[in-house]
Amino acid sequence: MSGADLDPHGDVHGDVSVDRLALADELAGTAADGSTAVASADAAEYALRLGDDALVLAQQLGMWIARAPELEEDVALGNIALDLIGHARSLLHYAGTASGRSEDDLAYWRNEPEFRNAWLFEQPNGDFAHTIARQLAASVYLYELYSRLVDSTDPTLSAIAAKSVKEVDYHRDHATQWVLRLAGGTEESRRRMLLAIIDTWPYVDELFVDDALVERLAAAGIAVLPSTLRPAFDAVIDEVFAEAVLERPTGRTAFIASGGGRHGSHTEHLGPLLAEMQVLARAHPGASW
């Protein structure tokens, strides 16, 4: 398929679409991940899951800018969001090579049921402790995932993982420090941290659920089987929680364990998030910024 002929979404965009030359160039492999490879249908679906996780979390974190408890935290959460957008761009670009869609097509022109992120990432910011609890679970999970995905037999996924893991290491450190600070801070900060962990942890199990897609991909050495990441994830969390004198919730999370995000079922929080994220692109189709 040649890049210039691609525009399966002409009907969605109306008669205004992204610049065809720019799109052809991007799909030829000069986008953020630098790959010229075209993803298989399975690898594209997997990249979409990972890309959506990063994109949705980045959007949530961006909402903290100018609202965080201190100026430095505006900057930190903004920078973490920027790293995640970088990861999402690479992953969505790669996912799009399978269907002739650009990373912007995938970010701005899909509706809720087409998003493949896990529920954890779309959970609301809550108070600062809720954001930090979500951030701890997310960054520890992403760190374990990317450090294993470095060995993927898919060179594009391996390169994205090798790049991302170094950045996620800093995100994990940031979340850990805040958990320690809030849990060991005032009575009120500790109370809120405890509550945030109780509220957040039901969404953790979904991250480690295997299904037919990841089993096929893992058998080919392309994906990491999510269930195999759980022991390492729990070990790191237990270490942080031991230091913060917190307990990891167990046993009460089965009702959300299967989630549904990977198959396009979402909680009520994704819709408003997408509305805000996509409004500009949809109001001005084809605009570049």
Partner 1 sequence: MVTAAMAQRAGASVASVARPVPSDPAAARAWVVAATVTDPEIPVLTIEDLGVLRSVEIGDDGAVRVQLTPTYSGCPALDAMRDDVLLALTHAGYDDVRVDLVLAPAWTTDWMSDAGKEKLRTYGIQAPSGNAAARPAGPVRVQLAVKCPRCDSLNTRELARFGSTSCKALYECRDCLEPFDYFKVL
Give the footprint of partner 1 on this chain (CB under 8 A): 29-35, 72-73, 75-76, 78-80, 82-87, 89-90, 146-148, 150-151, 155, 158-160, 162-167, 169-170, 173-174, 176-177, 236
> Among positive and negative, which fits the CA dihedral 105, 95, 210, 169?
negative
Distance CA 144, CA 146 (A): 6
Kindly state the smallest distance separating residue 120's Cβ from partner 1, in Å.
21
- What does the block give as tokens for 170? 């800093």
* Assigned token pair, 15: 């008669």
Place of tokens 């912007």: 104
**Are the CB atoms for 160 and 87 separated by under 8 Å?**
yes
The distance of closest approach from Cβ of residue 43 to partner 1 in the complex, given in angstroms and rounded to an integer, is: 16
Q: Copy the structure tokens of residue 252.
A: 């009460």
Nearest to 225 by CA among 209, 202, 204, 236: 209
Pairwise CA distance, residues 66 & 130, whole Å: 17
Residue 154 to residue 38: CA distance in whole angstroms: 11
Structure-block tokens of residue 239: 């270490």
**Residue 147 or residue 200: which is nearer to partner 1 going by CB?**
147
- Rounded to the nearest whole angstrom, what is the least distance from the CB of residue 196 to partner 1 in the complex? 20
86 vs 100 by CB, closer to partner 1: 86
Complex with partner 1: residue 35 or 200, whichever CB lies closer = 35
Cβ-based nearer residue to partner 1, 37 or 98: 37
Q: How far is the CB of 150 from partner 1 (least distance, A)?
A: 5
Shortest separation between residue 257's beta carbon and partner 1, angstroms: 27
In the complex, least distance from residue 58 CB atom to partner 1, rounded to whole angstroms: 8
Enter the DSSP assignment of 129: H
Contact residues for 100 (Cβ-Cβ < 8 A; gap 6+): 1, 3, 6, 7, 8, 27
How near is the Cβ of 166 to partner 1 at its closest, in Å?
5
Which residues, other chains included, contact 238 with Cβ-Cβ below 8 Å and sequence gap of 6+?
248
Contact 176, 240 (CB under 8 A): yes
Shortest distance in whole angstroms from residue 117 CB to partner 1: 18
Q: Which one, 25 or 210, has the nearer CB to partner 1?
A: 25
Exposure pattern of 63-77 as b/e (b: 16+ CB <10 Å)? ebeeebeeeebeebb
